[in-house]
């Protein structure tokens, strides 16, 4: 395992793009992995290559460090998931307040497949955009879940993976700020223009914070975070 290399879970959204920039600042070789599980907003997958190209063009160091991209098809996950992320149904919450955009086991499955690839590629660091501050109540975004997965993966693969979650304890406004710290206004422009977060897969009107329906939970979270970040700047 090479501790100077990393594998980033990269969906093409705001959070994973920020994590990719974060990794490119720290590691000599950075590869990316994405998953097609039949998600309703699979337009995010179309943006992945575009965002990678934009990031490589921003910084020669990032360009030199950016390695291979890997796409995995996981149709079984979508087939067993009766959620608003995998079905054309209204977004709502259950009696416990858990939104039906939660895909049970998704992040856990992603981490297992990412670790299996990282094992073969000799990548010791696995970077994900999980966040316990703005996480919509998703239980597999919690720090405890990620730490438990790190233990299980290292035991099961007799390895020393380190699962890194640079967004775990910050809100969306701080995520905008982190992107600005990493790549300034040019990276901010990439996030606004090229990344995709909207649960409904809308790539229509361009808002200050990016493209999306503006109404789904992901869009509202992104828009509110952007407004909070902008208002806090001198």
What residue segments make up the domains of the chain, in order of their start? 2-172
pLDDT digits (tens, 9 = 90+) for 172-205: 999 999 999 999 999 999 999 999 999 988 998 8
CB neighbour burial string for 67-92, b if at least 16 within 10 angstroms, e if fewer: beebeeebeebbeebebbbbeeeebe
The architecture of the domain spanning 2-172 is 3-Layer(aba) Sandwich (3.40)
What is the four-CA torsion angle of 224, 226, 231, 233, rounded to 10 degrees?
150
Q: pLDDT-based confidence at 135, cuts 50/70/90?
A: low
CA within 13 Å, CB half, 72:
18
CB neighbour burial string for 181-196, b if at least 16 within 10 angstroms, e if fewer: ebbeeebbebbbebbb
Give yes or no for a contact between 6 and 31, defined as CB atoms under 8 angstroms apart: yes
- Residue ranges of alpha helices (H) inside 2-42 are 14-26
Helix (H, G, I), strand (E, B) or coil at 230: helix
- Backbone angles phi and psi of 160, in degrees to 5: -130, 55
pTM, 2 dp: 0.94
Structure tokens at 186: 């040019």
Residue 140 has pLDDT above 80, yes or no: yes
Provide the 8-state DSSP code for 98: -
Alpha-carbon distance 15 to 194, whole Å? Answer: 13
Q: What is the pLDDT of residue 94?
A: 77
């Amino acid at each position: 395992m090479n501790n100077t290399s990393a594998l980033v879970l990269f969906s093409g959204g705001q959070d994973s793009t920020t994590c990719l920039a974060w990794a490119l600042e720290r590691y000599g070789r950075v590869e990316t992995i994405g998953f097609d599980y039949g998600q309703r907003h699979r337009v995010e997958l179309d943006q992945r290559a575009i965002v990678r190209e934009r990031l490589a063009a921003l910084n020669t160091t990032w360009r030199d460090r950016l390695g291979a991209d890997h796409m995995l098809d996981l149709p079984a996950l979508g087939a067993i998931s009766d959620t608003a992320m995998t079905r054309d149904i209204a977004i709502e919450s259950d009696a416990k307040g858990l939104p039906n955009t939660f895909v049970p086991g998704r992040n856990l499955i992603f981490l297992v497949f990412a670790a299996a690839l990282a094992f073969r590629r000799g990548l010791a660091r696995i970077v994900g955009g999980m966040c316990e501050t703005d996480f919509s109540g998703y239980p597999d975004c919690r720090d405890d879940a990620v730490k438990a997965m790190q233990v299980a993966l290292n035991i099961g693969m007799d390895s020393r993976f380190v699962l890194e979650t640079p967004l775990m304890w910050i809100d969306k406004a701080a995520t905008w700020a982190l992107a600005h710290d990493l790549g300034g206004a040019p990276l901010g422009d990439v996030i606004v223009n090229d990344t995709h977060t909207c649960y409904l897969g809308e790539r229509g009107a361009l808002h200050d914070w990016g493209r999306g329906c503006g109404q789904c939970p992901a869009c509202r979270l992104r828009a509110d975070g952007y407004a909070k970040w902008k208002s806090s700047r001198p």
